[in-house]
Chains A and B, each alone.
Chain A
């Protein structure tokens, strides 16, 4: 069953042209020889129509190359800090972008272009940043001849796609206020969509759009409803709004037909003590649908009203089409950190389905007619402790799920847990987290397949990792991992492991796939190593 790993030398392949421009149309309708956005396309499905590697052939999958990513700075360096000898070890958390035979990845404060045929570095850019919270960077965006990425200390940087030389950088937020950035930007027409977050010093967060040519800011959407905004009345006062959180930590999705941008938002602040922010705290822990040309909100849906458990909505709002009650529908599906699976009509944000995707949730009293959970105030953090399921890590997290239109199944890595939430700050104006959790246990971790139309679990498979980044393909496969260093191809129809490769460390990023020189490749990173697989 176990497939040995072989290095395959693909000599002579490095003479082809590198770094060709990516026209906007190639993002709307990605070619099979590309992976032009974090999600592979705008939909967030992490689905590929490629099927050379399929449930029948996958046993012949073997290693094409492996590359240990070097963090030693090269010729391209920018930013306000001193030139570092190194940015530490690589720890790949991004989905690589693949355009014309070149992979573009991010590491801590670093962007690399890598030859997709050999794994060898083409160019590198190092940002000399100021001290900032380093959550993990989700990757770059590409528009035309330019690469865009966010630094930890909140700068949007534009690089030349061929050389990695910096064109410009713009500050998006003040790192001294403990803002940090982790999102891979998303290019929509002449907009570069970005986001910033911060969870420790009670900052208000926002998404923005920048001009891809000049770097000038085009609009800002505040994820806490400011005075004059609809939703301001879900906060007790202006001060609460200005300290209300709502980080934009995760790459959004986009529907070109509706021209709607779907941004998932972070939890409210102070994180675990809600006494200074009574109300639902819009638009935290929500998905907001924006017009990308104006930044104006069209609709919203809040998954965790008045959140006090650190359950952000920084998961993928997956856009998919399906027939519901005999009618074709444009849907948005999201497995939320709280353990609830939501299906919405993405034209208007109305609920289609809300259902738990794990067992034992005890934090809500029921589901309201509008599809929102009815929170149980006694399960908010209490000074004497509240035994709650799930814990603050949630039933799933930022590692991306996947949706396969061929099976109609939504795949997500899950965790079931209990914890005791303690409120530690009873001041009328608490600060920061203001709470903690202790005790409890993780009692089950599984990869699960959810039937989109019913919310029922079609299959589940025990793993050792819980949340995990996934890729699904028309070859009836789901690529994932088990938390024990194995990169695994599961049968998308029943969860049976069909193939695996033992890596040096557990997969750490979103796997991708693409065609190159007539062969389908699957790419995944584990810590500081990147692995490319193809059929033998």
Chain B
């Protein structure tokens, strides 16, 4: 009950008029920043840090503003995924897979509403988890060494073949392409540049957000250019009633809960993060409940699971950040820098030394999520109206925002060239009906998988046995085998005649 006392104190800190106004502003800005392609939570938080400083906000107020932006981005990222098939940020990518098909079927309002509710469920459950179990979770997280992280990534990549369903070979090809692209840059272990050809801009490898904007947004424009005005009619979709039906929400409840748990665990592990969380939430849900092959074609559960997953991961990532000072994601890395520049050193003593900051932050997370759900549900109607804008008018705007967004991250024209190159790559892949999502997953997760593999081998001096020595790692491999066996089993039982299923035009 001590915890409740702390929490009550936190609410007392958070509920000053100034903080409430800051929370509202943060939620709104975050939603917008998250929805814009190329701008994600990392930029949102990074852009607002100087603002927080120049307003001379108290530490608790600054944190409230920025964590509201953080969560707002997690909510906002899904909007462009669903409406445009362009993820607003990395973790929102999985929401494209079923969100966009739902929108194409005229179910955009349902998709937006369900994803908003899923975001809320994921975030609230994660915040409760943070309150109740933070010390326990930390003890769990430190058991994850390089070998265990590697096993976790094996699990992730083993399920990658199933994500787009239509042609596993093409999915694997796309993932392999992503893995190959992920090897470019300075090797963090040895400091040796790989495949950089002496170009300094390539030393840091390909930025996942540059790849996403190129592969999704720019290639979409190229396809549109080619199709000319024929592309417009495809968007004249019927829009159903302005809100999700209770039945559909109820049907997704299980997916939301499962997605939340998976996402939260991925968030708590500093070596995993929100992208892995939403990815695993989607693939697990698909394996678990895709009995009729509806995933990838607009299944509400395929929207609910990854959205719950990425928001729960955002909450989970605060556990290692606050109690270990170890960021579990790019955004928490920026928040960590903010804490340090506010003279607060995160770490094992933070909860004792700065109760105002920690509990004020936690209270503001609860508050932010109520504000966000209250803000996002009525906005469904507004966002749906985006569908009425013809593609030829909307896409130039998207391209402009993409360029500005990417340039604002690095101030490097080189990244803009890379973005265009990725756009051309995306165009070619689409023409070959190769899905682009696994390319980004390979790029995002491949580097971490490799790092952990090599760290494990550096520790053991090259002995592969280290990979199979801990219970956690073995458990993860067993789980991987079970999922693969399940996939084979389901594939044999429900094998559809080849070619019966048309390849989707947009993946």
Q: Are A and B interaction partners?
A: no
| Chain A residues near B (Cβ < 8 Å) | none
